[in-house]
A and B are shown apart, each in its own frame.
Chain A
């Protein structure tokens, strides 16, 4: 019974995704349709799409799993992800929309007038995108394996085929609608079970001992100041450097609407994180036996049938499966769109045909990596990508928008230093393992020092270099000058 429902849920999500994708195919004809949805997307649609893309397997399954496994420190992750959009709003949303570029490499190239800086940015965007898709495919493998007796690789391959196929078919226009649909599906898939749990538990006194289920050491009281501060700093800055987040702003009609879109996004993802966190809190009180590494990430899938044996539990499980699938599809397809834009414009001449091939290529690489590696905790793998993006790209993007004296050499030096330092620290940390001394903490959470070092590198090299691009004034005026108000309205 449960297998039939699960199959039906997966089938419905894939069908709707495909239908919206095909509908999109009929209306995406020109190159600009493919890249930025011809800039006709309204703020609420756009905000739903951004949120749909942003909420990945990391928070859909991983947040409740980590709350169960290690306590309230897990909440720092969604807090950082949501607050990251605050920095996106304040420092990059409107100026980047006004820059008129498609992708981060486009922006860097236009601002610094340097092909070398552009190429390095493209490589970093690809690396960040691939690193981010891998945990999504791991999550898909995990989810499929838990609810049905299917080998893990089927889930990863299935999601990769759907993502690569739909992006290649419809480009960003149809992806915008797919993403918006997937966001509401994800929110509903966790919110409906939470409402059921609340009704089931609402009437009676909790039979648990709060001091046992929510011990002080696992709660906010057990805060590790350096690790938490460094993590929050990296998550906050990392959102600015994520390629699939920025590409969305190009679909807003004006800089002002890009800003309001971001405000709506913060509201939507906050609602989702509160619901997802609630599942984690419930899991701590009713499913402590699942608090084991590797198993904890599946708690959102296992909870419904545990609390409601029978038909209701099966239906709720099918709904959560549909939402989890939406999470893998949403984030991966958004990433593949932005990576394909970069590949097709840098290697080919930005044609529709090259975009399609790039989509296939950009899905295949992380699939191979995902099949060859063992899944780690979903939340922490995603957070490592944020650390890398925050160190490699964020300083250059923010300085490029706000600091007139940035030069191409400064940007290149900063990107290389940030990428190498943060990459090396994360690799060293996973090779050496947890040791509990100060050095180990610095390697495990390198954001607190790698991001400032990358920013200082950009500033020092630029000041020494002094070869400011000739178009600096023009670019800055374009980034910051508001659009003239429409004459008939206001």
Chain B
């Protein structure tokens, strides 16, 4: 844990001290938000929300297809690997790769959206 590029320790303060209880936490950013910034933020939010919903939809469709295969194809019950029928094996191990692939794809695409946003804001 002593690498030179380790992030510096940052002193963080609670947002809930009695003194600041009636104000929104302000840390770093300016409290007033301009119209242009609001518009940019909304565009980014919509893009990220669309991306997340598309990933969820894809995940649900893929999972539903796998569930249909393992529940509705009785012939698979007769295929046995290492003493275990294939539908059991698919249910025990098959869903995790689907989850991981969706997570990776989402994380890469979300980072790309944010980089585009950063570039856009810099140009303004």
Q: Are A72 and B92 in contact (CB under 8 A)?
A: yes
Residues on the B chain within 8 Å of A79, using CB? 91, 95-96, 99
Residues on the A chain within 8 Å of B61, using CB? none
Q: Are A89 and B92 in contact (CB under 8 A)?
A: no
Question: With A72-B88, A113-B24, A259-B111 known to touch, is A213 a contact of B12 (CB < 8 Å)?
Answer: no
Name the residue among B88, B90, B115 with the largest chain A CB count within 10 angstroms: B88
Task: Report which of A278, A285, A474, A476 forms a contact with B31, defined as CB distance below 8 A.
Answer: A474
Residues on the B chain within 8 Å of A102, using CB? 14-16
The answer for the CA separation of A471 and B92 in the assembled complex, in Å, is: 47
Residue of B nearest to A82 (CB): B99
| Interface flags, A345-384, vs B, CB<8A=1, else 0 | 1100110000000000000000000000000000000000
Q: Are A219 and B16 in contact (CB under 8 A)?
A: no
| Interface flags, B85-101, vs A, CB<8A=1, else 0 | 10110111101110110
| Interface flags, A117-152, vs B, CB<8A=1, else 0 | 000000000000000000000000000000000000
Q: Are A89 and B24 in contact (CB under 8 A)?
A: no
* B11 at interface, CB cutoff 8 A: yes
Residues on the A chain within 8 Å of B102, using CB? 86
Q: Are B106 and A480 in contact (CB under 8 A)?
A: no
Residues on the B chain within 8 Å of A478, using CB? 29
Task: Report which of B12, B31, B33 forms a contact with A36, defined as CB distance below 8 A.
Answer: B12
Q: Are A39 and B33 in contact (CB under 8 A)?
A: no
CB distance from B77 to the nearest CB of A (A): 6
* A70 at interface, CB cutoff 8 A: no
Task: Report which of B31, B70, B84 forms a contact with A214, defined as CB distance below 8 A.
Answer: B84
The answer for the CA separation of A113 and B25 in the assembled complex, in Å, is: 10
* A453 at interface, CB cutoff 8 A: no
Q: Are B103 and A471 in contact (CB under 8 A)?
A: no
Residues on the A chain within 8 Å of B93, using CB? 274, 277
Within residues 270 to 286 of chain A, which ones have a CB less than 8 A from any CB in chain B? 270, 273-274, 277-278, 280-281, 285
Q: Are A350 and B16 in contact (CB under 8 A)?
A: yes
| Interface flags, B14-49, vs A, CB<8A=1, else 0 | 111110010011010101110001100100110011
Q: Are B9 and A40 in contact (CB under 8 A)?
A: yes
Q: Are B114 and A482 in contact (CB under 8 A)?
A: yes
Within residues 81 to 118 of chain A, which ones have a CB less than 8 A from any CB in chain B? 82-83, 85-87, 89-91, 94, 100-102, 106, 109-110, 113, 115
Q: Are A100 and B103 in contact (CB under 8 A)?
A: no
Residues on the B chain within 8 Å of A485, using CB? 115, 118
Q: Are B85 and A31 in contact (CB under 8 A)?
A: no
Q: Are B99 and A266 in contact (CB under 8 A)?
A: yes
Residues on the A chain within 8 Å of B87, using CB? 72, 219-221
Residues on the B chain within 8 Å of A89, using CB? 103, 106-107
Task: Report which of B27, B71, B92, B100 forms a contact with A221, defined as CB distance below 8 A.
Answer: B71
Residues on the A chain within 8 Å of B25, using CB? 100-101, 110
Question: With A216-B77, A281-B88, A345-B16 known to touch, is A477 a contact of B37 (CB < 8 Å)?
Answer: yes
Residues on the A chain within 8 Å of B80, using CB? 210
Residues on the A chain within 8 Å of B103, using CB? 85-86, 89, 262-263, 266
| Interface flags, A246-288, vs B, CB<8A=1, else 0 | 0000000100100110110011001001100110110001000
The answer for the CA separation of A198 and B82 in the assembled complex, in Å, is: 10
Q: Are A206 and B92 in contact (CB under 8 A)?
A: no
* A227 at interface, CB cutoff 8 A: no
Name the residue among A82, A90, A253, A285 with the largest chain B CB count within 10 angstroms: A90
Residues on the A chain within 8 Å of B7, using CB? 39-40, 253
Q: Are A482 and B117 in contact (CB under 8 A)?
A: yes
Task: Report which of A115, A213, A349, A484 forms a contact with B118, defined as CB distance below 8 A.
Answer: A484
Q: Which of B's residues lie within 8 Å of A, judged by CB?
A: 6-18, 21, 24-25, 27, 29, 31-33, 37-38, 41, 44-45, 48-49, 51-52, 55-56, 59, 63, 67, 70-71, 74, 77, 80, 82-85, 87-88, 90-93, 95-97, 99-100, 102-104, 106-107, 110-111, 114-115, 117-118
Nearest 9 A/B pairs, CB to CB: A206-B83, A270-B96, A482-B114, A90-B52, A471-B24, A220-B70, A477-B41, A220-B87, A473-B33
Excluding A281-B88, A477-B37, 14 further A-B contacts by CB distance (< 8 Å) are: A30-B11, A35-B12, A38-B9, A40-B10, A82-B95, A89-B103, A100-B15, A100-B25, A109-B15, A210-B80, A211-B77, A278-B92, A349-B18, A476-B41
23 intermolecular pairs with C-beta atoms under 8 Å apart: A32-B12, A35-B12, A39-B10, A40-B6, A72-B92, A82-B96, A85-B99, A86-B106, A89-B103, A89-B107, A100-B15, A106-B15, A219-B88, A256-B114, A259-B111, A273-B96, A278-B92, A402-B49, A473-B41, A477-B41, A480-B44, A481-B117, A482-B114
